[in-house]
Protein backbone atom coordinates (compact mmCIF):
# COMPACT_ATOMS: atom_id res chain seq x y z
CA UNK A 1 0.00 0.00 0.00
CA UNK A 2 1.32 3.49 -0.90
CA UNK A 3 2.32 5.67 2.02
CA UNK A 4 -0.64 7.71 3.20
CA UNK A 5 -0.50 11.26 4.53
CA UNK A 6 -2.93 11.96 7.36
CA UNK A 7 -4.03 15.58 7.82
CA UNK A 8 -6.23 16.48 10.79
CA UNK A 9 -8.36 19.61 10.44
CA UNK A 10 -9.52 21.27 13.68
CA UNK A 11 -11.57 24.38 12.97
CA UNK A 12 -12.54 24.96 16.62
CA UNK A 13 -9.66 23.89 18.92
CA UNK A 14 -9.73 24.28 22.66
CA UNK A 15 -7.57 24.48 25.74
CA UNK A 16 -8.83 21.74 28.05
CA UNK A 17 -8.72 22.44 31.78
CA UNK A 18 -9.55 19.64 34.20
CA UNK A 19 -10.24 20.65 37.79
CA UNK A 20 -10.87 18.32 40.72
CA UNK A 21 -13.40 19.66 43.25
CA UNK A 22 -14.65 17.25 45.95
CA UNK A 23 -18.34 17.70 46.77
CA UNK A 24 -18.77 20.20 43.94
CA UNK A 25 -22.03 22.15 44.14
CA UNK A 26 -23.32 25.04 42.05
CA UNK A 27 -23.17 28.32 43.95
CA UNK A 28 -20.74 27.15 46.63
CA UNK A 29 -17.11 28.07 47.34
CA UNK A 30 -14.94 24.97 46.98
CA UNK A 31 -11.21 24.44 47.13
CA UNK A 32 -10.07 22.49 44.10
CA UNK A 33 -6.92 21.62 42.23
CA UNK A 34 -5.97 21.62 38.57
CA UNK A 35 -5.53 18.08 37.30
CA UNK A 36 -4.59 18.87 33.72
CA UNK A 37 -4.16 21.71 31.23
CA UNK A 38 -3.47 20.85 27.60
CA UNK A 39 -4.28 21.71 23.95
CA UNK A 40 -7.29 19.90 22.56
CA UNK A 41 -9.98 19.80 19.92
CA UNK A 42 -10.98 16.60 18.14
CA UNK A 43 -8.45 16.82 15.33
CA UNK A 44 -5.65 17.83 17.69
CA UNK A 45 -6.56 14.87 19.90
CA UNK A 46 -6.49 12.55 16.89
CA UNK A 47 -3.02 13.78 15.85
CA UNK A 48 -1.74 13.28 19.38
CA UNK A 49 -3.05 9.71 19.60
CA UNK A 50 -1.77 8.88 16.11
CA UNK A 51 1.68 10.06 17.19
CA UNK A 52 1.57 7.89 20.33
CA UNK A 53 0.71 4.98 18.02
CA UNK A 54 3.75 5.81 15.87
CA UNK A 55 1.86 7.39 12.95
CA UNK A 56 2.80 10.77 11.51
CA UNK A 57 0.25 13.48 10.72
CA UNK A 58 -0.13 17.14 9.85
CA UNK A 59 -2.34 19.14 12.21
CA UNK A 60 -4.01 22.15 10.63
CA UNK A 61 -7.05 24.32 11.28
CA UNK A 62 -7.43 27.56 13.23
CA UNK A 63 -5.76 28.80 16.42
CA UNK A 64 -5.72 32.02 18.44
CA UNK A 65 -2.39 33.84 18.28
CA UNK A 66 -1.92 33.67 22.04
CA UNK A 67 -2.21 29.88 22.08
CA UNK A 68 -0.16 29.01 18.98
CA UNK A 69 3.13 28.44 20.81
CA UNK A 70 1.40 26.29 23.43
CA UNK A 71 -0.10 24.01 20.75
CA UNK A 72 3.12 23.79 18.74
CA UNK A 73 5.25 22.95 21.77
CA UNK A 74 2.74 20.42 23.11
CA UNK A 75 2.36 18.55 19.82
CA UNK A 76 6.11 18.53 19.27
CA UNK A 77 6.77 17.12 22.74
CA UNK A 78 3.88 14.65 23.07
CA UNK A 79 4.06 13.65 19.43
CA UNK A 80 7.80 12.94 19.59
CA UNK A 81 8.25 14.84 16.35
CA UNK A 82 5.54 12.91 14.51
CA UNK A 83 3.09 15.84 14.31
CA UNK A 84 3.73 18.74 11.93
CA UNK A 85 1.75 21.70 13.27
CA UNK A 86 0.40 23.98 10.52
CA UNK A 87 -2.40 25.81 12.34
CA UNK A 88 -3.54 29.16 10.92
CA UNK A 89 -3.67 32.12 13.33
CA UNK A 90 -6.99 33.99 13.60
CA UNK A 91 -8.23 36.89 15.69
CA UNK A 92 -9.51 36.13 19.12
CA UNK A 93 -8.64 33.69 21.88
CA UNK A 94 -8.86 29.93 21.61
CA UNK A 95 -11.80 28.70 23.68
CA UNK A 96 -11.53 26.98 27.04
CA UNK A 97 -13.20 23.67 27.83
CA UNK A 98 -13.47 23.19 31.59
CA UNK A 99 -14.18 19.84 33.20
CA UNK A 100 -14.94 19.77 36.93
CA UNK A 101 -14.39 16.34 38.42
CA UNK A 102 -16.00 15.49 41.76
CA UNK A 103 -14.28 12.33 43.04
CA UNK A 104 -16.57 12.08 46.05
CA UNK A 105 -19.84 11.98 44.15
CA UNK A 106 -18.32 10.49 40.98
CA UNK A 107 -19.57 13.24 38.67
CA UNK A 108 -18.14 15.30 35.83
CA UNK A 109 -19.37 18.78 34.86
CA UNK A 110 -18.37 20.07 31.43
CA UNK A 111 -18.38 23.78 30.51
CA UNK A 112 -17.80 24.58 26.84
CA UNK A 113 -17.16 27.93 25.16
CA UNK A 114 -18.30 28.56 21.58
CA UNK A 115 -14.89 29.60 20.26
CA UNK A 116 -13.45 32.54 18.34
CA UNK A 117 -15.36 34.28 15.54
CA UNK A 118 -14.05 33.24 12.13
CA UNK A 119 -13.97 35.87 9.39
CA UNK A 120 -14.74 35.20 5.72
CA UNK A 121 -11.08 35.75 4.80
CA UNK A 122 -10.11 33.05 7.31
CA UNK A 123 -12.39 30.58 5.56
CA UNK A 124 -10.66 31.45 2.30
CA UNK A 125 -7.24 30.95 3.89
CA UNK A 126 -8.08 27.49 5.25
CA UNK A 127 -9.62 26.53 1.89
CA UNK A 128 -6.35 27.42 0.15
CA UNK A 129 -4.35 25.57 2.79
CA UNK A 130 -6.42 22.41 2.41
CA UNK A 131 -6.17 22.59 -1.38
CA UNK A 132 -2.39 22.35 -1.01
CA UNK A 133 -2.56 19.42 1.41
CA UNK A 134 -5.32 17.38 -0.26
CA UNK A 135 -4.06 14.88 -2.81
CA UNK A 136 -4.76 11.28 -3.80
CA UNK A 137 -2.62 9.67 -1.09
CA UNK A 138 -3.95 12.01 1.64
CA UNK A 139 -6.51 11.21 4.33
CA UNK A 140 -8.15 14.47 5.42
CA UNK A 141 -9.73 14.19 8.87
CA UNK A 142 -12.30 16.92 9.55
CA UNK A 143 -12.90 16.65 13.29
CA UNK A 144 -14.80 18.73 15.81
CA UNK A 145 -17.48 21.39 16.00
CA UNK A 146 -17.75 24.47 13.80
CA UNK A 147 -16.69 27.82 15.30
CA UNK A 148 -18.91 30.90 14.91
CA UNK A 149 -18.46 32.25 11.41
CA UNK A 150 -18.11 28.88 9.68
CA UNK A 151 -21.48 27.81 8.28
CA UNK A 152 -22.45 24.23 7.57
CA UNK A 153 -22.46 25.08 3.85
CA UNK A 154 -18.92 26.49 4.02
CA UNK A 155 -17.85 23.35 5.89
CA UNK A 156 -19.43 21.16 3.22
CA UNK A 157 -17.58 23.14 0.54
CA UNK A 158 -14.22 22.50 2.25
CA UNK A 159 -14.95 18.78 2.30
CA UNK A 160 -16.06 18.80 -1.32
CA UNK A 161 -12.86 20.54 -2.46
CA UNK A 162 -10.69 17.96 -0.71
CA UNK A 163 -12.67 15.07 -2.19
CA UNK A 164 -12.43 16.60 -5.66
CA UNK A 165 -8.64 16.67 -5.35
CA UNK A 166 -8.64 12.91 -4.78
CA UNK A 167 -8.17 12.82 -1.01
CA UNK A 168 -10.02 10.36 1.21
CA UNK A 169 -12.14 12.44 3.58
CA UNK A 170 -12.98 11.44 7.15
CA UNK A 171 -15.74 13.38 8.94
CA UNK A 172 -16.26 13.44 12.70
CA UNK A 173 -18.21 16.59 13.50
CA UNK A 174 -21.20 17.86 15.46
CA UNK A 175 -24.85 17.74 14.44
CA UNK A 176 -24.63 21.33 13.16
CA UNK A 177 -21.70 20.40 10.95
CA UNK A 178 -23.62 17.46 9.47
CA UNK A 179 -26.51 19.62 8.23
CA UNK A 180 -25.40 19.84 4.60
CA UNK A 181 -23.23 16.76 4.22
CA UNK A 182 -25.77 14.36 2.75
CA UNK A 183 -24.53 15.04 -0.78
CA UNK A 184 -20.80 15.36 -0.04
CA UNK A 185 -18.23 12.68 -0.67
CA UNK A 186 -16.87 11.07 2.49
CA UNK A 187 -14.60 8.04 2.59
CA UNK A 188 -15.51 7.53 6.25
CA UNK A 189 -18.03 9.11 8.60
CA UNK A 190 -17.78 8.55 12.34
CA UNK A 191 -21.17 9.03 14.00
CA UNK A 192 -22.67 8.44 17.41
CA UNK A 193 -26.24 7.26 17.83
CA UNK A 194 -27.78 10.75 17.79
CA UNK A 195 -25.80 11.87 14.76
CA UNK A 196 -26.54 8.66 12.86
CA UNK A 197 -30.26 9.01 13.59
CA UNK A 198 -30.21 12.54 12.16
CA UNK A 199 -28.21 11.60 9.07
CA UNK A 200 -30.19 8.44 8.26
CA UNK A 201 -33.55 9.74 9.52
CA UNK A 202 -34.01 6.46 11.37
CA UNK A 203 -34.14 5.18 14.98
CA UNK A 204 -30.86 4.08 16.56
CA UNK A 205 -31.81 2.89 20.05
CA UNK A 206 -30.83 -0.76 19.59
CA UNK A 207 -27.81 -2.32 17.92
CA UNK A 208 -30.05 -3.70 15.18
CA UNK A 209 -31.39 -0.20 14.51
CA UNK A 210 -27.85 1.23 14.43
CA UNK A 211 -26.80 -1.38 11.87
CA UNK A 212 -29.88 -0.73 9.76
CA UNK A 213 -29.40 3.05 9.87
CA UNK A 214 -25.70 2.88 8.99
CA UNK A 215 -26.41 0.47 6.13
CA UNK A 216 -29.19 2.73 4.89
CA UNK A 217 -26.91 5.77 4.96
CA UNK A 218 -24.24 4.14 2.81
CA UNK A 219 -26.87 2.87 0.32
CA UNK A 220 -28.81 6.11 0.06
CA UNK A 221 -25.67 8.15 -0.53
CA UNK A 222 -25.06 6.11 -3.73
CA UNK A 223 -21.37 5.73 -2.96
CA UNK A 224 -20.73 9.26 -1.70
CA UNK A 225 -20.50 7.99 1.91
CA UNK A 226 -18.39 4.88 1.48
CA UNK A 227 -17.95 3.77 5.10
CA UNK A 228 -19.74 4.52 8.37
CA UNK A 229 -18.41 3.72 11.83
CA UNK A 230 -21.17 4.12 14.40
CA UNK A 231 -20.30 4.23 18.09
CA UNK A 232 -22.59 2.84 20.77
CA UNK A 233 -20.79 3.67 24.00
CA UNK A 234 -20.18 0.64 26.19
CA UNK A 235 -21.79 -1.54 23.49
CA UNK A 236 -18.87 -0.91 21.13
CA UNK A 237 -19.08 0.11 17.49
CA UNK A 238 -20.20 -1.12 14.09
CA UNK A 239 -18.51 -0.50 10.76
CA UNK A 240 -20.38 -0.78 7.47
CA UNK A 241 -19.27 0.04 3.98
CA UNK A 242 -18.17 -1.34 0.66
CA UNK A 243 -18.60 -5.10 1.08
CA UNK A 244 -17.79 -4.93 4.80
CA UNK A 245 -19.94 -5.18 7.91
CA UNK A 246 -18.44 -5.69 11.37
CA UNK A 247 -19.31 -5.18 15.01
CA UNK A 248 -16.66 -4.73 17.69
CA UNK A 249 -16.58 -4.56 21.47
CA UNK A 250 -14.03 -4.57 24.27
CA UNK A 251 -14.98 -6.22 27.53
CA UNK A 252 -13.74 -4.04 30.40
CA UNK A 253 -14.88 -3.73 34.02
CA UNK A 254 -16.99 -0.53 34.39
CA UNK A 255 -14.93 0.44 37.41
CA UNK A 256 -11.90 1.00 35.18
CA UNK A 257 -13.66 3.59 33.03
CA UNK A 258 -12.56 7.05 34.11
CA UNK A 259 -13.98 9.29 31.36
CA UNK A 260 -15.47 8.70 27.91
CA UNK A 261 -14.74 12.25 26.72
CA UNK A 262 -12.43 12.04 23.72
CA UNK A 263 -12.96 8.32 23.14
CA UNK A 264 -14.36 9.01 19.68
CA UNK A 265 -11.15 10.86 18.76
CA UNK A 266 -9.13 7.89 19.99
CA UNK A 267 -11.29 5.51 17.95
CA UNK A 268 -10.75 7.52 14.75
CA UNK A 269 -6.99 7.64 15.36
CA UNK A 270 -6.81 3.91 16.10
CA UNK A 271 -8.97 3.02 13.11
CA UNK A 272 -6.80 5.06 10.75
CA UNK A 273 -3.56 3.74 12.24
CA UNK A 274 -4.84 0.19 11.78
CA UNK A 275 -6.01 0.86 8.24
CA UNK A 276 -2.83 2.46 6.90
CA UNK A 277 -0.75 -0.36 8.39
CA UNK A 278 -2.83 -3.30 7.20
CA UNK A 279 -5.36 -2.15 4.60
CA UNK A 280 -7.79 -4.48 6.40
CA UNK A 281 -10.98 -3.03 7.88
CA UNK A 282 -11.42 -5.80 10.45
CA UNK A 283 -7.95 -5.18 11.85
CA UNK A 284 -8.55 -1.43 11.68
CA UNK A 285 -11.78 -1.66 13.68
CA UNK A 286 -10.10 -3.83 16.31
CA UNK A 287 -7.37 -1.22 16.69
CA UNK A 288 -9.99 1.52 16.84
CA UNK A 289 -12.02 0.05 19.70
CA UNK A 290 -8.87 -0.99 21.60
CA UNK A 291 -7.45 2.54 21.41
CA UNK A 292 -10.84 4.08 22.29
CA UNK A 293 -11.00 1.91 25.42
CA UNK A 294 -7.44 2.94 26.30
CA UNK A 295 -8.67 6.53 26.14
CA UNK A 296 -11.58 5.75 28.46
CA UNK A 297 -9.30 4.64 31.31
CA UNK A 298 -7.48 8.02 31.28
CA UNK A 299 -8.72 11.26 32.86
CA UNK A 300 -7.35 13.48 30.08
CA UNK A 301 -9.41 13.43 26.88
CA UNK A 302 -7.55 12.27 23.80
CA UNK A 303 -4.62 10.65 25.60
CA UNK A 304 -3.69 6.97 25.74
CA UNK A 305 -1.06 4.78 27.35
CA UNK A 306 0.38 2.33 24.77
CA UNK A 307 0.37 -0.41 27.41
CA UNK A 308 -3.39 0.02 27.89
CA UNK A 309 -3.93 -0.15 24.13
CA UNK A 310 -1.87 -3.36 23.97
CA UNK A 311 -3.95 -4.89 26.76
CA UNK A 312 -7.26 -4.10 25.09
CA UNK A 313 -6.12 -5.39 21.69
CA UNK A 314 -5.96 -8.85 23.26
CA UNK A 315 -9.53 -8.74 24.59
CA UNK A 316 -11.23 -6.86 21.74
CA UNK A 317 -13.73 -8.91 19.74
CA UNK A 318 -14.55 -8.12 16.11
CA UNK A 319 -17.07 -10.25 14.25
CA UNK A 320 -18.85 -10.02 10.91
CA UNK A 321 -22.50 -9.06 10.83
CA UNK A 322 -25.17 -9.46 8.21
CA UNK A 323 -26.31 -6.06 6.99
CA UNK A 324 -30.04 -5.74 6.40
CA UNK A 325 -31.27 -6.35 2.88
CA UNK A 326 -31.96 -3.23 0.77
**pLDDT tens per residue across span 166-197:** 999 999 998 877 877 766 678 999 999 999 99
- The domain tally of the chain equals 2
Q: Do 277 and 160 share a structural domain?
A: no
Boundary (domain end) residue, out of 144, 179, 214: 179
Distance separating alpha carbons of residues 114 and 57, to the nearest angstrom: 26
Confirm whether 29 is domain-assigned. no
Q: Do 296 and 151 share a structural domain?
A: no
Name the 3-class secondary structure at 89: strand
Catalytic residues: 265
Model pLDDT for residues 232-261, shown as the tens digit of each residue: 988 999 999 988 999 999 999 888 988 888
pLDDT at 262 over 80: yes
Helix axes 306-315, 281-296, angle to 10 degrees: 120
Distance separating alpha carbons of residues 124 and 121, to the nearest angstrom: 5
Model pLDDT for residues 206-238, shown as the tens digit of each residue: 999 999 999 988 877 565 788 999 999 889 999
Q: What's residue 222's pLDDT?
A: 60
Q: Do 264 and 127 share a structural domain?
A: no
- The chain-wide mean pLDDT, for the chain, equals 92
| Domain limits for position 106 | 1-22+34-179
Confirm whether 27 is domain-assigned. no
Q: Do 200 and 124 share a structural domain?
A: no
Distance separating alpha carbons of residues 50 and 236, to the nearest angstrom: 20
Q: Do 175 and 52 share a structural domain?
A: yes
What is the pLDDT confidence band of residue 279, given thresholds at 50, 70 and 90?
very high
pLDDT at 2 over 60: no
The CATH code of the domain that includes 223 is 3.40.1190.20
Amino acid sequence: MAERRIVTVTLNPAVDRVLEAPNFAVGSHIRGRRVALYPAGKGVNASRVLAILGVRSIATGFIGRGELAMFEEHLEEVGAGRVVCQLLVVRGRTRDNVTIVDPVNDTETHIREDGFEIQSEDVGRIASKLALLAREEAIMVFAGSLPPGVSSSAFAHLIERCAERGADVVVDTSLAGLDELHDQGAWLMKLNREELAAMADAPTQTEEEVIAAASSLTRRSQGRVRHVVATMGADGAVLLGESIAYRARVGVHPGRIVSTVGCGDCLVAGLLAGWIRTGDWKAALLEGVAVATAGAVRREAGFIDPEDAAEFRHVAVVEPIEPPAP
